Amino acid sequence: MYFIRPTDPNPITPAKAVLLGLLCLVWLGTGLVGHDPWKPDEAYSFGLIYSMVHSGDWLVPTLAGEPYMDKPPLFYWTAALSAKLWGPLLPLHDGARLASGFYTALTLLFTGLASRKLYGEYRGWAAAIILIGCLGMMVRSHEMITDVALLAGCAMMLYGFALSRERFMRAGALIGTGMGIGFMSKGFISPVLFLLIATLLPALFKNWRTLKYFHSLSISVLFSLPWLTIWPLLLYLHSPKLFAEWAWTRNIGNWIDYAKAGPSMEAFYYVESLPWLAWPALPLAFWVVWKSRKRLKQRDDLQLPLVSFAVMLVTLSLVPDIKEVFALPMLLPIVLLAAASLSILKRGAANALDWFGIMTFALLAILMWWGWAGLLLDNQAKITHWLKDYQPGFDPVLQTAPFVIAIIATVLWVILVWRVGRSMRRAVVNWASGVTLIWILAMTLWLPWLDSGKSYRNMVVAMKRAMPKQYQCIAGEHLGDAQRAMLHYFGNIITRRDSKQRCDLRLIQGDKLSRPLLDETRWEKIWEGSRKGDKNEHYRLYQRLRREPA
Residues 137-183 have pLDDT tens digits of 999 999 999 999 999 999 999 999 999 999 999 999 999 999 999 99
Label residue 514 by pLDDT band (50, 70, 90). Answer: low
Cα–Cα distance measured from residue 363 to residue 355, given in angstroms and rounded to the nearest whole number: 12
State the pTM of this model.
Answer: 0.93
- Binned at pLDDT 50, 70 and 90, residue 517 comes out as low
Please check the confidence at residue 1 and state whether its pLDDT lies above 50: no
Please give the Cα distance from 417 to 433 (Å, whole number). 8
Query: Within 10 Å of residue 351's Cβ, how many Cβ atoms?
Result: 14
* DSSP assignment letter at 268: G
Nearest Cα residue to 414 out of 400, 427, 401, 433 = 433
- pLDDT for 550 equals 46
Q: Are 142 and 99 in contact (CB under 8 A)?
A: no
Q: How is residue 12 annotated by DSSP? A: P
CA distance readout (Å), 408 to 64, 374, 396 = 42, 20, 21
- Asked if 208 and 165 touch (Cβ cutoff 8 Å), the reply is yes
63/4: higher pLDDT: 63
pLDDT at 15: 78
User: Is the CB of residue 18 less than 8 Å from the CB of residue 24?
Assistant: no
Integer Cα distance of 247 and 362 in angstroms: 49
Lowest mean pLDDT among 119-123, 292-296, 371-375: 119-123
Handedness of CA 505, 510, 511, 513 (dihedral sign): negative
| Alpha-carbon gap, residue 186 to 534, rounded angstroms | 30
First to last CA, the chain: 87
CB contact burial 454-484 (16+ within 10 A = b; e otherwise):
bbbbebbeebeeebeeeeeebbbbebebbbb
Residue 543 reports pLDDT greater than 50 = yes
Q: For 314-349, write each residue's pLDDT tens digit.
A: 999 988 888 999 999 999 999 999 999 988 888 888
Check residue 4 and give its pLDDT.
43
Which residues, listed in sequence order, are joined to residue 475 by a DSSP beta bridge? 496, 506
Other CB atoms within 10 Å distance of the CB of residue 71:
22
User: For helices 147-163 and 74-85, what crossing angle results, to 10°?
Assistant: 110
Question: Could you report the per-residue pLDDT of 394-414, keeping only the tens digit for each?
Answer: 888 899 999 999 999 999 999
